[in-house]
Structure 1
Amino acid sequence: MSAAHTVGLRASRPAHAFFVLPFVAVYALLLLWPLVNGVWISLHDHDLLSNDSLWVGLANYRELLDDEVFHQVVWNTLRFVAISTPIFVVLSLMLALTLNRPGRLATLLRATFFCASVFSVTLITLVWKLALMPERGLIAQAFAALGIPELPLLTSDHLALLTIALVTVWWIIGLPMILFLSALQQIPSDIYEAAALDNTPRWRVLTHITLPSLKRAIVLVALIEVIRQFQVFPQIMLMTNGGPNNTTRSIVQFIYEQAFMQLSLGYATAASQVLLAIMLVGVSAQLWLERDKEAKR
């Protein structure tokens, strides 16, 4: 390569920044600026009615530490994530393994499971509230036909959160299933053909070929669901409104109520920063555990 050509390449390198400048600008405007501004607002006592803002430092965070309601909503959200995420991963993987085959029936079932996630949360919660109505609902009538005592699924302190988690899984199980189906179709068919020639049992094919090949997909689905379920709000708001006795109220509902009902934007923003920190810790811990397992192998 000639010296002149080398000099030309070096001279053009600063101009390469213009290709990434639009992305950096949009990234800073839509992500970095809201994050920085959110931290700034959380350090103020900001009233939405008067738009007055008073610097209070870490007072909002100290108040959250002493707020029993906030402690309860954090615990509720952690329980919801712990209940729903494993169900999402296991059930969607089982559905993907079952429906990963040619044929019209498998295609119809894949479309059916995925279509449910397209419906609005309002429609889903309306259908399930009708189904879960005491005495006249579909679930109550099914229990009565089987001779099982009716369960207060939405009015019990112990069952309400579990019921909402199961409704959430029924609603959006289609997306993780599609992700697993996509990963399954990336596995080379030659491996399965070689296993068939060796008369390898199905359970060995599953445990030694399929599941190891899906390791990255499993981690991806788990991370997506952890992030999504930490932000649970509309189905809880519409089905129980946080009741009974605050046992289903989530962090996002707490933030919404503080910001738009109590009009305390600084306090609500401080709670949102805590939620962000919890999500980052959860995702980081999951990635660390996954890397630790790979290192041991």
Structure 2
Amino acid sequence: MSAATVGLRAPRPAYAFFVLPFVAIYALLLLWPLAKGVWISFHDHDLLSDDSLWVGLGNYRELLNDEVFHQVVWNTIRFVAISTPIFVVLSLALALALNRPGRLAALLRATFFCASVFSVTLITLVWKLALMPERGLVAQLFAALGIPELPLLTSDNLALLTIALVTVWWIIGLPMILFLSALQQIPSDIYEAAALDNTPRWRVLTHITLPSLKRAIVLVALIEVIREFQVFPQIMLMTNGGPNNTTRSIVQFIYEQAFMQLSLGYATAASQVLLAIMLVGVSAQLWLERDKGGQR
């Protein structure tokens, strides 16, 4: 190895200046707000004043005994458990169906993706009109089919499921595009070899396509878990947490505590609990996938 090569590989303090801007921005935009949030959660902090009282773990103990917080945590976990599998399965099915040339497939891909760029206000307005009792499109469809009208947004058992389905309809385009991108990375010669061997389609799907999409499936699942744990605007606009508190999410609870009750310390403590739950959920997902698929 030449002296010049050794010189290039030798550590130099000046190299740190290349990563210093990134480290500074990362610390400013992520690490500092995170540390500041943890600090505020240990205080009884009023949003309208700079006065704060150190309470230590008092906010967390209060959350532990808060029945409303227990309910919103359970609601959010249920929402994630309902919506994430639907996102993964349905977006994968759409990607498999639309992964072909032709104008119709391109039009359908664009149609599904365009819905995800609409604002949440527009989506919830359209669906609230469609779900109106008696006069809404869904109610009229049920009446035409002879099905009794269902209280989709006013039932304790159906409201959260309805919002989950609306959310899936709204943003199914992004995971579909991720799966399409992953499908197009699979070498075509593998499928050509399977076709020469007259391999049945279901074996091609289970032995070639799905194993090749393992990383994409994990990525989509993780993205959706993180996104759905932060669900808020569609719930706020469609049911405002009702009926009977059955659709109120953790983020809505944080919003109400911070900006309606003006209890910033309590709201920040709830946000730290949400962060911990999300980290546990993502870690569990990664561990399960590694356990199923072995070392990558």
C-alpha change, 1:2 and 1:203, in structure 2 (3 Å) is closer
How far residue 12 of structure 1 moved from its aligned partner, in angstroms, is 6.5
Shift of 1:179: 0.1
CA displacement at 1:295 relative to structure 2: 2.5
Partner in structure 1 of residue 109 of structure 2: 110
Residues 52/296 of structure 1: CA separation in 2 closer, same or farther (3 Å cut): closer
Q: Report the 3-state secondary structure (helix = DSSP H, G, I; strand = E; otherwise coil) of the residue aligned with 1:106.
A: helix
TM-score by length of 1: 0.97
The alpha carbon displacement at 1:50 in A equals 2.3
Pairs within 5 Å for 1:75-224? 75-224=74-223
Runs of 4+, deviation exceeding 3 Å: 1-4, 6-12
Q: In the alignment, what sits opposite 1:285?
A: 284
Distance 1:12 1:238, change over 3 A: same
Give a deviation string over 1:106-147, Cα, whole Å, max 9, x none: 000000000000000000000000000000000000001111
SS at structure 2 position matched to 1:296: coil
Deviation at 1:168, TM superposition (A): 0.1
CA drift at 1:3: 4.5
**CA gap 1:256/1:12 in 2 versus in 1, 3 angstroms:** same
Shift of 1:7: 7.2
Tell me by how many angstroms 1:8 deviates.
Answer: 4.5
Q: CA deviation at 1:153?
A: 0.2
Give the whole-Å Cα distance in 1 for the aligned partners of 2:275 and 2:3: 52
- What per-residue deviation string (whole Å, max 9, x for no partner) do you get for residues 231-273 of structure 1? 0000000000000000000000000000000000000000000
CA–CA separation in structure 2 for the residues paired with 1:135 and 1:58: 50
TM-score, length-scaled by structure 2: 0.97
* Alignment coverage as a number of residue pairs: 296
Q: Secondary structure at the match of 1:12?
A: coil
SS state at 1:292 partner: helix
- CA spacing shift, 1:7–1:285, aligned 2, 3 Å: closer
Identity of aligned residues (%): 93
Q: Which runs of 5+ in 2 are unaligned?
A: none
Q: Deviations over 1:32-90 (max 9, x none)?
A: 11111100000000001222111000000000000000000000000000000000000
Q: After superposition, what is the alpha-carbon deviation per residue over 1:153-186, rounded to whole angstroms, capped at 9, x for unaligned? A: 0000000000000000000000000000000000
Q: Considering only aligned residues, what root-mean-square deviation do their CA atoms show, in Å? A: 1.4
Aligned equivalents of 2:70, 2:215: Cα separation in 1: 34
- The residue aligned with 1:3 is 3
- The gaps in structure 1 that reach 5 residues or longer are none
